[in-house]
């Protein structure tokens, strides 16, 4: 009986480890996709290395121009 209980405990632990690892890889993938998007956002434009983003702040918060 102890062997069955021990194997159930190990099975639950293994499943939790796999779910946690999958969640970590999913978060890493989302972060890497966002970084790639941010780094290549204006690459289709001519002279994209000279493109500048202007921001204005005021009472209503930041506003992208």
Q: What number is the average pLDDT over the span 5-12? A: 82
Placement of tokens 């918060």 in the chain = 61
State phi, psi for 21 to the nearest 5 degrees.
-65, -40
At 49 the pLDDT is 78
pLDDT in tens, 12-65: 999 999 999 999 999 999 999 999 998 888 777 788 778 777 777 766 655 555
pLDDT for position 28? 98
Q: In the prediction, which pLDDT does 31 show?
A: 98
CA gap 40, 32 in Å, rounded: 12
pTM: 0.62
């Amino acid at each position: 009986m102890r062997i069955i209980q021990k194997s159930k405990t190990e099975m639950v632990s293994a499943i939790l480890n796999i779910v946690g690892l999958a969640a970590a890889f999913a978060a890493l993938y989302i972060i890497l996709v966002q970084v790639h998007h941010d780094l290549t956002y204006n690459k289709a434009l001519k002279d994209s290395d000279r493109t500048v983003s202007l921001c204005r702040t005021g009472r209503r918060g930041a506003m992208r121009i």
